[in-house]
Structure 1
């Protein structure tokens, strides 16, 4: 796609997004404001309508309660109540009550068309219409719902009045009607009034007056809009052509005229959201919904749930949003015009700059093809001229860099050839892996030892190519293989493993695996290994020779000891001091030789011993006490101290004698190879289902280059030989062998000249972990 096309699309899209954003803002943000304001106005109208309706009901209430204060009416009502049922006396009293209300009360309010007197059971016992006597209004209330509220009236106090819902098709009057019920009370002394079991039921045919009140805004609060500036009901009807204000009764019928339905007797059903919320849940709403004509409107409702009346003020949504619709149309038109005009400006403005850019692109394509002897020729004073100059400098820089790269490539190839020759001549096998354990390099010696060619194994996981056995010829799981452990950042050294040669069995190897680090992160590992088959054979031969030599040496050494002790007793004559001194030196040398022979025989016995060690619960506290008692005096003689751990109340299941022998070997070495005044610190901690013993000294340490051999038989570090000439080189070897017997592991951490820390890992249940960065054997 050409740059010009991209510019046109970009700026065109930009202008389109602006126009769309304005349109959406107008529709949703401004529209939301319009909607909120309209609903607020409707809520004000609904509240004013509620006030007008309550004022109208209040006037009706005052009128009916005023009737109950008429002593003549009250006396006639009591006369009816106190007369025997179905007697001539009651009939005359009922007629007198009816005559009185028809002549003395009802003429003053032409909207009253029936007045009934009910007993405590809701039975009409007197009426302005004699044919209603005997009618059960309580049953009618139960059957039709909110027609009256007689039950609450019978339990009311003086001054309470109750209104029924507006009824469209009453039996006695074809016009919509509204009923009021009030209880009669007999005045006593002072303000005390005694309730009578009589209810006065008055029917009004004044629903059209209610409609007039709602439509004109006439109420006792008529002065409020002029003061506050709020809309009145009349102003609502004038401001919006689709506005509507009407009442709905408990049967969900329209009971006051609306814009669409002027005659309420058609019984227009109104089952809209605000009606349902009021009559079912007693809630008032201010929101958008569908009206009874199925038109989307904004409306507000006032709920009179007890009376079964809902006041609704509505305006069609389309009329509210009509100004916004017009604005959106104008915005769309202007946006389209701006879009077309903007594209025209872009085409004209970018013509010349784009030609320069095309020139630069043409030169760039030549450079891409390998021609670095080209340049641009744009000499304008603007950004394109600067770009052209910079581009020419870049081409020149690339030419120079290319020359340098050729020289560097030649140097790298030389170094690579040297490295490949070095790896090929290396006398040990080498395998390199990435951090996932996949083989990335293998030298010729490793190919010969393992029987695999590099192209057969590169990219495969090392643990999948050849298997590995431990010293007991059990296969080592992949997660415990040295290469896998090295990818976690830990170096591994092993002399007791076996690798399998392709299709040719297993052979013993000495392995050293180190992680490859970059920015303190492991990126792979390097494994160096060598075939130690010959060494194992020599070791066996040496063991046989040592066994024979040890047995042959033991007898003369014992004889020599007996002869020296006999001479020292003076049995064959007294000795001079010089002779005694020489005999003592000979005795010490003989004892040292005896100890060496004893150690060699012990090693040979241990290597050939297949008996299982004991397994019993061992108190570490007891072991620590025994060790302290054993070495405390020896340490003090060198001016050293032995420090025990604070917490020793552990119990472990193992062989107590072998455990103590291993720790004795560690502590003995720590004392022997430390300078006077130092300390030996013993520690114990639990970690990953292991009980880890550590013995730390401040002695001579072990040279790094000799650490891999420290557990070999008869091996002594070079600095140890000069520090103390008496060692046999068997102590750590014996300790490692004893650890294997009890299922434990030994490891160490050492730095020459700064001391060593030896660890014994005794499993509590199962254990596979090592302390971080510690050499494993």
Structure 2
């Protein structure tokens, strides 16, 4: 800009100098007219001529200056305004003055710079949107701290997990946001050592205890500058729960298999050694061995059946099935156990209720639920079975007057080998897999199984199965 203003001032000075020289020359030609012997009329004519020359010079000068302003100053003002808009972030501003070759070049240069700035701005906005989407889409909690330990990035998962507002956390240090003490210590260690850290932590939240796999690492810029650290916290609560279930399953299987095998082995060794001579005692031993072998067989069959269901190779055959007939057949199967405990089964159901289902699997479900109700009920109590239609599903309800289940035990009730009362379950001959099988069969029919219970009052199992076949 200084270059153009200098040229404008120089040109204006040259023009004025030329006009003044010309004016001086003209005045010099008539200098003798100022003598005392010159007629006053001639002098008056000269002054009129001189005034005319001055006015003409003024008009020419004004015309030349106007052309200079139009040629140079106005384009410069226009270009200055465009540059100011670009400086304020309006990258859509463009220069349009192309009256001269210099202006044309300057216009093209400014517009080229504006176009590149607009492209870079759009690219930066797109990259920021991508980063924001990526950070928000990560299934783990993410925190990024600057070099001074202040938070400069929080993702949505962290906000939802810890019930915090990300905007309120911005600018705070890691010690001011209420993280668990072990996570704070590890973050401080990462700041001090600038090394990658990985560890597990337990966090107490509103939903309960959550297990987190925490990964922390320093953030290094392109030029090797240390920019801060990033912390990623992955929720592994479900993995921990499944691992505990696996451990419990292995321990339970080992225990359930060991008990009958030990009994069979011990009694058979006594019989082979000839320690027992009394025929009655021998018969008792053989009956115990037979009973334990049956229990072992049932356990293996249930394990194989459950394994087949969980592998996905379990299939059901859908055909029109009368739910009422399924309930009646199941009651006949458990009738002997009902009579042993002097119990009664009350029925509340229509004469017929047809649904598409697997008949044998439904019988297995009902037998398991009835056996479970009988096993955990006192003598001379009532088991109530009802069938009704609710919102497009058939609801089969089995209600007992048994010992009930603690609320803390309900979530694990359908786990394999989970028992409320191990001694009573073992006495009743149960394998601990019945309810797990019930759940899998119900889900294979696109149905559900739920349970409600009150200690000392009884338990209610509800099976919901679709009335119309679902593919």
Q: Does the alignment reach a TM-score above 0.5? A: no
Q: TM-score range by the shorter chain?
A: 0.3 to 0.5
Task: State the TM-score, normalizing by the size of structure 1.
Answer: 0.28
Normalising by the residue count of structure 2, what TM-score does the alignment of the two structures yield?
0.45
Rg larger for: 1
Bigger helix share: 2
